[in-house]
Structure formats: structure tokens, C-alpha cells
Structure 1
């Protein structure tokens, strides 16, 4: 199997995840702006999650361009990442329905933490396919975003019990860090 087949499968799963999230929206009972405003927490949790799934899709797309050889560990780690991402619609809906109550928000952070760790493991397996003097191998060693993100997700999960605003700050911070695709991969691709 070639990496583009795994990428196409992953793209399909991510598209379904976004579709499930948007299907969680129910038409408001009222017919004015106030009825829509009541959906504010659901809309905000959807925006968070849409951005996160988009970030994963974008960076995953770049990362898979560096695959040299498909193998079992690579495919299983990709499925592990998709598993954690597939739980985002559930936690998104629960967090929005509960108006960012502590436990749903903490679970959201925990799921994002596990997705980040899965992505990091997937990245490690792909990096090991390259020689230690390759531009990709050397560039990926400086993975400050991959190292700080799990810490911020854990902080978000723990601070959800103190304040959903503090947890939200950590969620936004990670999204800002990852919003632009990983330039290290683009530079490595140019160096091929």
C-alpha cells in the first residue's frame, strides 16, 4: 500500500468527523436572534473542534509526504490517531451542551492530549525511516510544538476544574501554535 491510500482514508475519516460535529446542531426552537444566541456554547465548541480537526488534517497531510515505506506500525499509529480524533464530536457536543462544565471540558482536553501523543508517535515512526543526516531527520529533532502541546493540553484538562476560561485559553494557545502547517516538513521536502 502506498502512503497516498492511507492519506485518502484519513481524509475521509476527518471529513466524517467534521460532518458529525455539524450534525449535532439542532434548529433553535425560537425564531429570533436570541434563540441563536442560546446556541453560543455549542457554536464555540464547534469552532474549537473544527479548527483542531483542520489543523490535524493540514499537518497530517504534510507529514505523510515524508513516508518512505508503509508498514504495520505506521498504519496502526495512524489508526490510533484517527481513533482519538473520532472522539472529538462526542466531547465537542458534551462540552457545548454543558456550557463548558468542568468534566466535559477536561475530557475534551484529555482526548486532545491523546491525539497529540498519537500524532507524535506517528511522526517518530516516519522520522525513523530517514537517515540520521537527512534534512527531514534533522529538522524534526527540533519539535518544540510537539513537546509543548501535550503539556498545554494537560494544563487545559486540569484547569477545567478551576475555570473553563483558563482551559479555553490553553486550547486557543495550542491552536495558534499549530495553525500554520509545520514549515520543517516543507523545508525538508524542498531539500530532497
Structure 2
């Protein structure tokens, strides 16, 4: 199967997820700086959720630009990934309203980890579907950034459980920055 319609579906779902997240940000109660400051947690978690969505789109856009064909395993695994990812608007609001509680932060991080694990599966299935595509094989050869994401968020969960629950959200943000930096580091080391 060709990938254009599949890519369009992914783009549409991510656009809807981002729209729902932004619509969930509460309005400031009045036009004052204090009112804006009062919704600082809602805005912070929105910004991180937006970056997560953009990062997910960017990863898929870059990978699917070199994919020649997909199969049912890729389609269904991506469908499951998008289902988990579609929980992000709810989890964003849940964390914003319970910023210093571990359980909402844990669920937010768990969504992030499950998405990363499913991305590993999608990468494997893409490589299996098109073994002759050398560019794809090389692009999906090493998964340091995804492994780093899983480890970083897991560390955030441990810190969040014992010390400071927002550490989970902070580690999600750090892992996104790592995804952007690790490929550049790998290029310089090669």
C-alpha cells in the first residue's frame, strides 16, 4: 500500500488532537497579568503537549518521506499509537488541574512511554515491509533517541513518585529536546 493517504490521516488526527488541547486551556478570568499567572500550569502543560504532538508529527513526517510501502502491521500499530496519543488532551487537562499529584503525572508519562514503545514497533514493521529500501533501513537502524525517551521518562516517574511529581512532565520535555539533539550528536560522532 502507498503511504500518501495514510500520512494524511496521521496529519489530520494530530491536527484534531492539537485543536482539542488548545481548546481545553481555560481563559484568563480577566485581562490582568495575575489572571494569566493563575493559569500558568495549564499553559505550561499545554506547551509541553504541543511540543510532544509536533515532535511526533515531525518524526513520522521524516520517516514517511522515505517510506515506499506499508502493510497492515504498520497501519494497525499506528492506529493503536494514535489511539494512545489521542488521550493526550484529556491527560493534559488532568495534569493541569492536578499539577502536584503523582497519578496524573504518571499517566501523562505512561502515555509518552507507550507511544515510544509503539514507535519502536512501527519502525520494525516498516523495515520488515520494505527491506530493499536502504534509506529507510539506515534511518531506522538505531533508536537511541527513543530508548533515551523511555529511560528519561521512567527516571522522571521514579523522581515524581518519591520526591516531586512534576518531574515526570519535566522529563517528558527533556526527552523531546533529546530527540532533537541526539541525531545531531550521532552525526558529529560518525
Smaller-chain TM-score bracket? 0.7 to 0.9
SS across alignment from 1:128: helix
Report the TM-score, using the length of structure 1 for normalisation: 0.86
Q: Partners in 2 of 1:121 and 1:133 — Cα distance?
A: 18
Runs (5+) with no aligned partner, structure 1: 184-192
* 1:113-192 superposed matches below 5 A: 113-131=113-131, 134-161=134-161, 162-179=163-180
Q: Partners in 2 of 1:133 and 1:18 — Cα distance?
A: 32
Q: Partners in 1 of 2:23 and 2:116 — Cα distance?
A: 25
Please list the CA deviations of residues 57-92 of structure 1 after superposition, one character each: whole Å capped at 9, or x if unmatched: 011111112333222111101101111110111111
Q: Quote the offset at 1:167 in angstroms.
A: 2.5
Query: Taking structure 1 as reference, are residues 33 and 92 closer, same or farther at Cα in structure 2, changes over 3 Å only?
Result: same
Q: Partners in 1 of 2:27 and 2:178 — Cα distance?
A: 34
Match of 1:91 in 2: 91
Q: Quote the offset at 1:118 in angstroms.
A: 1.0
RMSD: 2.1
Matched positions, count: 183
Report the TM-score, using the length of structure 2 for normalisation: 0.87
Runs (5+) with no aligned partner, structure 2: 185-190
Q: Quote the offset at 1:42 in angstroms.
A: 0.3
Moved more, 158-167 or 45-54: 158-167
Match of 1:187 in 2: none
> Contact 1:132 / 1:138 at 8 angstroms: preserved in 2?
no
